[in-house]
């Protein structure tokens, strides 16, 4: 099967180009929002996991499983939230 057909099928399953662009813009906004909270998060949630969704801090926990449970309880899919571990030293991590 040609790659172009696979991409078209994947895009259709994801809701089409507009839906993908919308989710990408929302993700970028949430990443910027999380970055803007960095100093506050260091004070309040050092060595904890946090999640941002739709420009709101929606969950925090001592473990990633605790954080994911909170997201699930709130009806927020983990793959739609920006999740980060708040450490005094920055480390690259993508979940």
Number of separate domains in the chain = 1
pLDDT 10s digits, 52-94: 999 999 999 999 999 999 999 999 999 999 999 999 876 665 5
| pTM for this predicted structure | 0.78
Quick one: tokens of 26?
Answer: 């929302």
Query: Does residue 1 have a pLDDT over 50?
Result: no
In this structure, is residue 68 part of a structural domain?
yes
Q: Is 64 among the domain residues?
A: yes
Interatomic CA distance for residues 36 and 28, integer angstroms: 12
> Torsions phi, psi of 86, nearest 5?
-90, 105
pLDDT of res. 53:
97
* Sequence-ordered list of residues with C-beta below 8 angstroms from that of 18, at least 6 positions apart, any chain: none
| 3-class DSSP assignment, residue 82 | strand
Give the domain extent around 73: 3-86
Write down the pLDDT at residue 10: 74
Residue 41 lies in a domain: yes
31 domain-assigned: yes
According to the model, what pLDDT value does residue 12 have?
77
Domain-located, residue 21: yes
Other Cβ atoms within 10 Å of 65 Cβ, number: 10
Given a cut of 60, whether residue 95 has pLDDT beyond it is no
67 found inside a domain:
yes
Q: Is there a domain that residue 94 lies in?
A: no
């Amino acid at each position: 099967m040609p790659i172009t057909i696979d991409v078209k099928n994947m895009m259709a399953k994801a809701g089409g180009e507009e839906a993908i662009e919308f989710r990408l813009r929302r993700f970028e906004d949430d990443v910027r929002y999380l970055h803007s909270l960095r100093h506050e998060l260091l004070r309040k949630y050092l060595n904890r996991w946090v999640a941002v969704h739709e420009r709101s801090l929606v969950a925090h926990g001592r473990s990633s499983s605790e954080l994911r449970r909170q997201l699930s309880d709130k009806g927020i899919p983990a793959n739609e939230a920006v999740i980060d571990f708040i450490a005094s030293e920055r480390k690259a991590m993508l979940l």
